[in-house]
Amino acid sequence: MNRLVMPLVTLAACALFCATATFWTVKLTASRQAPDDAATVAPPPSVQAASQLFGGDATQQARLRVAGVLSLGVGRGAAAIISENGAVGRAIGLNQAIDDQTILREVYADHVVVEQHGVRSDIRVTAPISGPGGIAYMR
């Protein structure tokens, strides 16, 4: 029995060596693939598209300019000085028409809300504001 063990151990060692050598030969000589391309980065969403999604209108922002707001006192209403397409500004009261399609709905110290075809848009006051809280009080 001792005579068969030594040749079998030698055969097993030789088979293990051949298998290991074959594995590493195939592994090292195989063609290498190019690495995967980096993930493409999508451009950031446009602010105009986001404002239209939530009811804003970018063309409204460019067409109308709010120079200031007026508070006529508690319970007496408010107004905004709005210029359209670069024209001279005029005072528009709450719920009054700016043009045939646009109505002034709300007035705040730093912005106004206009409505066109049922869609409301915020328009910021563009001129520097002075006075308490940015509101000119009228009597």
> Which domain CATH number covers 112?
2.30.30.830
Would you say residue 44 lies in a domain?
no
Would you say residue 35 lies in a domain?
no
Q: Are residues 11 and 58 in the same domain?
A: no
Q: Are residues 7 and 64 in the same domain?
A: no
Q: Are residues 72 and 105 in the same domain?
A: yes
Q: Are residues 23 and 65 in the same domain?
A: no
The pLDDT, as a whole number, for residue 138 is: 47
What is the distance between the alpha carbons of residues 123 and 8, in angstroms, rounded to a whole number?
91
Q: Are residues 56 and 98 in the same domain?
A: yes
Bigger pLDDT: 65 vs 129: 65
Would you say residue 107 lies in a domain?
yes
Please determine, for residue 78, whether its predicted confidence score (pLDDT) is greater than 70: yes
Bigger pLDDT: 39 vs 84: 84
The pLDDT, as a whole number, for residue 126 is: 78
Which one, of 72, 59, 37, lies nearest residue 114 by Cα?
Answer: 59
Would you say residue 127 lies in a domain?
yes
**Is the whole model's pTM more than 0.75, yes or no?**
no
State how many domains the chain has. 2
What is the distance between the alpha carbons of residues 30 and 47, in angstroms, rounded to a whole number?
50
Range of the domain at 79: 51-137
The full 3-state SS of 4-31, as one line of letters, equals: HHHHHHHHHHHHHHHHHHHHHHHHHHCC
Q: Are residues 106 and 72 in the same domain?
A: yes
